[in-house]
Structure 1
């Protein structure tokens, strides 16, 4: 009986698999182009204690204030990356200064590299899962909840659609890329989950 049902459903499943595969290829291409134009910020708290989480947010504010000045004249992610790499000691010093002010016994470390991120919504926009360049600031043991945002273009503090679009366009993102990032009636969930759906369909045949 199950084999009979499977045979009946096979054409439908194959059609869905082909459609998802095509859309997934388009989605993956956009994700790859997008990831090359962004630099994300990732601040990891020492622990999940109330104090450590509050310190994480204080460090976040200090880091954002510093790096916004460092990257304000960057015309693309390469220039922003160079500015950040050249100032990693200053970034670490700024984080450690906040830790000292809050009486923390631990220190901070920072690195700029490629990291894997899950699908993430930031309110005005969302980003698909994938590998992105990111400034990662780890506090102490780095065992607590973290804080993510997009450092370049400066989307962390975008308070409106207009501010978001301007910052994205100034950094060289195309209209299609802005639309790909922006929520649109929940459709971004479909775009960003295509790879997961494709994997599921493939599993039906394994």
Structure 2
């Protein structure tokens, strides 16, 4: 009987220990499942953040490309702008024809030279009877539009009267450039005071 009691106590202890171990394994598995869920959520958040950062990098690289393109062609565009200002302030039709795209026509009437676009807008380029002289010019702004591959330049022109007094206000000139047969041409222009 004593042996039977010892076997029963040992069996009971063993069963109790095993059931406690099963309970602790279930708790451990539950804990691992929670940690796995947390790590998965964190991983998903990090992957989303990486995707956002990659998009930001791509946008910044596009901006860098735009700035590099803008910088590379600045000399060409500013020289063409200078030639245009010189030609329109002296009435040099031949030079103006070289600089303008086919979208802009030159028209002479009443001793004045006009530029006219396809939409019918007309700008006075030169007036032989004008009582002012061209004095100087300055580039006010410059930008490149990658989507349309166009350059825009903003110029301020200064004039003086025949007695040497500065004309006020200065004239503002807006030029837009496109590439035609590998050559930059003035695609549109606009004057403002």
Q: Same fold (TM over 0.5)?
A: no
User: What's the TM-score bracket when you normalise by the shorter of the two chains?
Assistant: 0.3 to 0.5
**Bigger proportion of residues as strand:** 2
**Bigger proportion of residues as helix:** 1
Larger Rg: 2
Q: What TM-score results when the alignment is normalised by the length of structure 1?
A: 0.32
Q: What TM-score results when the alignment is normalised by the length of structure 2?
A: 0.34
